[in-house]
């Protein structure tokens, strides 16, 4: 294989990996901060994709405009869902383990609810639209313009989230809550405000990922579930609660999948990601990058 073919393969892996990282960051925020393993996370990605598709086909809006819109809509939805369900759940659960198990069940319920709502509303067909499909030459290789845009925006949002968590007062509060919930509350960090907000931001990121995906790929009501699973794999790779780990894990998984599919065959993709997942969970349950 020539050098440019290798580069092309790596780049296509990184493009998928960028989306993986974005989805995983949102899920990691929810799990790392609140111990909510949101199995329905990918479903909100799908809703974001459908909102973008609807705005593009019926109103003629540019998908780029829909990036902030779907973030805002999904974030509002997230705050609402947290207020309706997880608030009561954390008040009534006797300990964190039980909260985690019950939260998992609630998010299974959400998954059924949202996925079937989408197929009830929009039908089960594959949908899509054309946006920036012209190839852009980069060195020797060529990439579709929309995929490059998707990658750039996914990285931008991931970097923005990590920046906010590292360098703002809000982010410091969130990280303090991740390290020690009781300690953080003792120094005056308001859990009742931060939890819904961060749950909302997690869903918002998922909505953005959906919006980006719809620019380059076809969408369907069942598209969310594989991304949830991938996000789970990514956060186990990167370590539960570690944001930098999720970003690196997402990009890594994208490249592993691209290489694996190139050297074996595409129908092995799911088999490959599940093997990586199980191997990591069994051998390094605290994440690949843990010390």
Partner 1 sequence: MTGPNILMRDLLVLLAFTGWCLALPHYGSEFEVSMALTCLMYVALSSSWGLFCGSTRYLSLATSAFFGIGAYTSALTLDSLPWLASIALGAALAMGIAVVMGAAVLHLRGTYFAVLTFGMTELIRHAVTYFEKKVTGTVGRVLTVVPERDTIYLTVLALAVLAVLVSIVVRRSRFGLALAGIGADEQRAQTLGVNTRLVKILGFALTAGFAGAVGAAMAVRWTYIDPHTVFNPFIGFQTVLIALIGGAMTLWGPLIAAIVFSILAETLRLQAPQVYMMSLGLLLILSVLYLPGGLASLRWSTVGGWWRNRERSHG
Question: What is the smallest separation between the CB atom of 147 and partner 1, expressed in angstroms?
Answer: 26
Per 3-state DSSP, what percentage of the chain is helix, strand, and coil (rounded to 5)?
Answer: 80, 5, 20
- For partner 1, the binding residue among 10, 85, 132, 261 (CB under 8 A) is 85
- For partner 1, the binding residue among 80, 119, 148, 217 (CB under 8 A) is 119
User: Which stretch, 51-59, 148-156, 253-261, 277-285, contacts partner 1 (CB under 8 A)?
Assistant: 277-285
Question: What is the smallest separation between the CB atom of 283 and partner 1, expressed in angstroms?
Answer: 11
Please report where in the chains the tokens 């990121």 appear, as a residue: 205
CA distances from 192 to 73, 83, 167, 241, 253 (A): 21, 10, 22, 20, 35
- For partner 1, the binding residue among 10, 61, 80, 89 (CB under 8 A) is 89
Tell me, by CB under 8 A, how many residues bind partner 1. 39
The residue among 212 and 234 lying less far from partner 1, judged by its C-beta, is 234
Please report where in the chains the tokens 């300990």 appear, as a residue: 95
Interface residues for partner 1 in 213-232 (CB under 8 A)?
229, 232
Cβ neighbors of 40 (< 8 A, separation 6 or more) are 107, 108, 110, 111, 113, 114, 224, 228
Please report where in the chains the tokens 């065959």 appear, as a residue: 265
Q: Which two tokens stand for residue 290?
A: 């843990």
Under a CB-based contact definition with an 8 Å cutoff, are residues 158 and 25 in contact?
A: yes
Check binding of 23 to partner 1 (CB under 8 A).
no
Neighbours of 52 (CB within 10 A): 30
The residue among 110 and 219 lying less far from partner 1, judged by its C-beta, is 110
The residue among 99 and 151 lying less far from partner 1, judged by its C-beta, is 99
Between CA 282 and CA 4 the distance in angstroms is 36
Interface residues for partner 1 in 229-268 (CB under 8 A)?
229, 232, 236, 267-268
Question: What is the smallest separation between the CB atom of 286 and partner 1, expressed in angstroms?
Answer: 11
Question: What is the smallest separation between the CB atom of 76 and partner 1, expressed in angstroms?
Answer: 19
- 262, 268, 274, 280 alpha-carbon torsion, rounded to 10°: -40
Check binding of 115 to partner 1 (CB under 8 A).
yes
User: Which stretch, 3-11, 16-24, 86-94, 174-182, contacts partner 1 (CB under 8 A)?
Assistant: 86-94
Q: What are phi and psi of 99, to 5 degrees?
A: -60, -40
Check binding of 4 to partner 1 (CB under 8 A).
no
Q: What are phi and psi of 55, to 5 degrees?
A: -65, -35
- For partner 1, the binding residue among 65, 83, 108, 217 (CB under 8 A) is 108
The residue among 153 and 253 lying less far from partner 1, judged by its C-beta, is 253
Check binding of 102 to partner 1 (CB under 8 A).
yes
C-alpha closest to that of 14 among 115, 141, 170:
141
Binding residues (CB under 8 A) for partner 1: these are: 35, 37, 85, 88-89, 92, 97, 100-102, 104-106, 108-117, 119-120, 229, 232, 236, 267-268, 270-271, 274-275, 277-278, 281-282, 285
């Amino acid at each position: 294989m020539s050098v440019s073919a290798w580069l092309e393969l790596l780049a296509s892996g990184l493009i998928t990996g960028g989306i993986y990282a974005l989805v995983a960051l949102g899920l990691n925020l929810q799990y790392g901060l609140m111990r909510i393993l949101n199995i329905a996370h990918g479903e909100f990605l799908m809703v974001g994709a459908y909102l973008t598709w609807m705005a593009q086909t019926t109103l003629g809006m540019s998908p780029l405009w829909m990036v902030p819109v779907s973030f805002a809509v999904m974030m509002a939805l997230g705050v609402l869902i947290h207020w309706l369900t997880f608030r009561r759940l954390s008040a009534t659960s006797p300990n964190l383990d039980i909260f985690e198990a019950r939260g998992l069940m609630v998010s299974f319920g959400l998954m059924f609810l949202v996925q079937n709502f989408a197929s009830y509303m929009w039908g089960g067909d594959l949908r899509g639209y054309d946006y920036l499909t012209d190839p852009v030459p980069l060195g020797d290789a060529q990439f579709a313009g929309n995929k490059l845009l998707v990658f750039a925006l996914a990285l931008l949002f991931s970097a923005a989230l990590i920046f906010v968590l590292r360098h703002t007062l809000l982010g410091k509060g969130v990280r303090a809550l991740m390290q020690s919930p009781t300690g953080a509350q003792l120094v005056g960090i308001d859990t009742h405000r931060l939890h819904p907000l961060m749950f909302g931001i997690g869903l918002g990121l998922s909505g953005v990922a959906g919006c980006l995906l719809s620019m380059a790929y076809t969408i369907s009501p069942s598209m969310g579930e594989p991304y949830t699973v991938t996000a789970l794999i990514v956060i186990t790779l990167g370590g539960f609660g570690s944001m930098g780990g999720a970003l690196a894990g997402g990009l890594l998984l994208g490249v592993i999948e691209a290489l694996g599919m190139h050297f074996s065959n595409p129908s092995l993709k799911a088999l490959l990601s599940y093997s990586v997942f199980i191997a990591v969970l069994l051998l390094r349950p605290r994440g690949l990058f843990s010390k």
